A and B are shown apart, each in its own frame.
Chain A
């Protein structure tokens, strides 16, 4: 291995391991992002639904169903699918399954998440493009 490759590997070796470090970092970042969205989601829906009643709910939800927000929905679901697929992988490894095939399992799960996301795109993008 070249000096540069060794250096890169050391830089990637956070907390003493390097395999799946990007999967780990992305899992943490997507998780924190989703917690932020959770606060926003509960605040918006609860305020619209229960504080101001039916008129305000329909106004708020009508505003949030414009094409721009549908694109954000699709991206949000993408983040959820990454976090879910990688999370299932983590649970499998914790239970001792397939530990010797980590990289293959990771990319298989990513492919699965991509297929589901493709379905979501096919369902929701017509609302943006055809709307």
Chain B
């Protein structure tokens, strides 16, 4: 009940989702770093190694969720900085629009990198499909 009331206050969802995505990132990002840099530290990172890593459904899911969570968390964080620096009203709206645009670009760009490994075929920007 208190949660529902809080949900109608302006800024509640930006605040709540920042905490939720942050908590998710602790797990997702540390798993990403562990797989890519620590589990087999020193293993040379190559295209075929990445194809092998992405055969894991868990790693696929983690990286796609990580992409979405990190874009939201990072850009909403920039918006929080803008608010702390005094952005309100029209200025804040403009900042939000720029950040939404940047977020969409990052999402498409990031999916373009992940898609060949996850789906086994190129995303629409991709020129060369991966092989094992």
Q: Which residues of A contact B (CB under 8 A)?
A: 15, 28, 31-32, 34-35, 38-39, 42-43, 45-46, 49-54, 57-58, 61-62, 65, 73, 77, 80, 84, 87-88, 90-91, 94, 119-120, 123-124, 126-127
**Contact residues in A for B120 (Cβ distance below 8 Å):** none
Q: Which residue of A lies closest to B99 (CB)?
A: A35
- Asked if B110 and A42 make an inter-chain contact with CB atoms under 8 angstroms apart, the answer reads yes
Per the bound structure, the CA–CA distance linking A61 and B38 in Å amounts to 16
Nearest opposing residue in chain B for A77, CB measure? B33
Count how many chain B residues have C-beta atoms less than 8 Å from C-beta atoms of the other chain. Answer: 42
Q: A28-B81, A46-B113, A57-B47 are in contact. Are A51 and B126 (CB under 8 A)?
A: yes
B41 touches A123 (CB 8 A): yes
**A32: min CB distance to chain B, Å:** 7
The residue in chain B whose Cβ has the minimal distance to the Cβ of A119 is: B38
**Does the CB pair A84–B47 fall under 8 Å?**
no
- Nearest Cβ in chain B — how far from A118, in angstroms? 13
Q: Are B126 and A50 in contact (CB under 8 A)?
A: yes
| Number of A-B pairs, beta carbon distance below 8 Å | 99
Interface residues of B (CB under 8 A from A): 19, 22-23, 25-26, 29-30, 33, 37-38, 41-42, 44-48, 50, 70-71, 74-75, 77-78, 81, 84, 106, 109-110, 112-113, 115-117, 122-123, 125-128, 130-131
Write the nearest CB–CB distance from B109 to chain A, whole angstroms: 5
* Interchain Cβ contacts under 8 Å between A and B, 15 examples: A28-B81, A31-B77, A32-B77, A35-B78, A38-B106, A39-B106, A42-B106, A49-B117, A50-B115, A50-B123, A51-B126, A53-B128, A61-B46, A80-B33, A91-B19
Q: Are B74 and A31 in contact (CB under 8 A)?
A: yes
- Evaluate whether A45 and B46 lie within 8 angstroms (CB atoms) in the complex, with A54-B131, A84-B25, A88-B26 already known: no
Nearest Cβ distance between residue A24 and chain B, in whole angstroms? 9
Q: B41 near A84 (CB under 8 angstroms)? A: no
Closest to B23 in A: A91
